[in-house]
Amino acid sequence: MSTKRIKIFNYLIPGIVFSLGIVIIISSLFFAGNDPAEDFPQGYRIITPEVPGYLVFSGERVPTENYEVKERIDREFIVNTYWHSATLLAIKRANRWFPVIEPILKAQNIPDDFKYLCVAESYLRNAISPAGATGFWQFMKETGKKYGLEIRNEIDERYNLEKSTIAACHYLKDAYEMFGTWTMAAASYNMGTNGAGNQMQRQKTSNYYNLVLNEETSRYMARIVALKYVMQNPAKYGFDLKPDELYHPLKHYEINLDSSVTDFADFAALYNINYKILKMYNPWLRDNYLKNDGGRNYKIKLPEKGSIEIIK
C-alpha cells in the first residue's frame, strides 16, 4: 500500500468513528425524552379522540358551537372509543345486520342514519332491558303491538328484525310528523312521544338541544352521533379489523308456514337442521310449538345448504 493511501486511510477511519459517535449521542439525547415507559409509566398513551368539527344527523347539523353540546358529544366519542368490547362487537355485527336494516329504512323514506339509533338501542342484538323493552329496536310490548307486531306466548315479532325495523320506521314517521325534525323524532324514541311533547310544551322550545332532560335522553343523541362517526371511520379511532373478522350475513331462503306445528325440533329435522339453528334464524319463534288455528302465513328462514356447519 502506498504512503499516500495509508495517510488517507488514517484520516478517514477516525473521521467515520467520530461522526458515528456524534450521531449516537444526538440520537440518545433525542429519544431519551420520548421513551413511552418514561413519559407514561403504564407504557401507553390515552388520548382524547378527535371529534369532527362539523357533525350531522339525518341532514340536521349538531350545534357544537354551544359548549354544553360539544362536551356532551365529546363524552360519547370518548366512551364509544374506549369502551372497546361494545364498539368492536357493534362494528362486527353491523356487517351482518346493516344490509338487512338499510334497504328497509330506504324503502320507508327514513334517513339512513337511523341504523345507528338501532346500535345505540341494542348494539345490534336481541336484547331485553330491565323494563322489558325487547329486540334490536327495543320495543315495549304495547308500543310493538300498536305498530303492528304480533306479540304472544308463541310469537314475538320484536325479535324479527325485518318486521321490527318496519315498525320502528312507522313510529319515527309519526314522531317526525309530530315534532318536525328527525333529531327530535329520534330523541322521542328514547323518552316517548308523550314525554317529548310534554317537555317541549313545558320548556317552550322545539329544539332538542335546548331541552333540559334526564341524563339518559340527554346523552341519547350524542351517543347516536358518536357511534355513527366512529363506526364509519373505525381505523381513525383505533379499531383495526380485517374483513374476515367481521360477522358475515346469514345466507338463507324462506318457506311459508300456514299451519300449526306440534314440535319445532321435529320440524327442523325435516330440513336437516336442528332446533337451535331454526331458532338462530327465527328468534321470533318463542316456544317449541305453534298454534295457528287461523291459518296465518308465517315466513320461516332456513339456512342455505352449506352456509352453516351443523354440529353432529
Q: Whose grid coordinates read 456524534?
A: 22
pLDDT of residue 151: 98
266 three-state secondary structure: helix
pLDDT of residue 29: 46
Could you list the pLDDT tens digit for every one of the 312 residues in the chain?
Answer: 455 444 444 555 555 545 555 545 444 544 444 555 467 777 778 899 999 999 999 999 999 999 999 999 999 999 999 999 999 999 999 999 999 999 999 999 999 999 999 999 999 999 999 999 999 999 999 999 999 999 999 999 999 999 999 999 999 999 999 999 999 999 999 999 999 999 999 999 999 999 999 999 999 999 999 999 999 999 999 999 999 999 999 999 999 999 999 999 999 999 999 999 999 999 999 999 999 989 999 999 999 988 888 777
pLDDT of residue 309: 80
* CB-based contacts of 98-106 (< 8 A; 24+ apart in sequence): 99/249, 100/161, 100/162, 100/165, 100/249, 101/161, 101/165, 104/162, 104/165, 104/166, 104/169, 105/165, 105/169
How much is the pTM?
0.86
Residue 302 φ then ψ, to 5°:
-130, 145
Distance from chain centroid for Cα 288? 31
Listed in sequence order, the DSSP H helices in 83-214 are 84-107, 115-122, 141-146, 161-179, 182-191, 193-203
pLDDT of residue 1: 47
As given in the structure block, the three cell numbers for residue 246 are 367481521
pLDDT of residue 39: 73
Q: Are strands 252-257 and 60-61 parallel, antiparallel or unpaired?
A: unpaired
Chain segment 123-159, per-residue pLDDT in tens: 999 999 999 999 999 999 999 999 999 999 999 999 9
The identity of residue 205, as a single letter, is T
Contact 222, 195 (CB under 8 A): no
Residue 205 φ then ψ, to 5°:
-150, 150
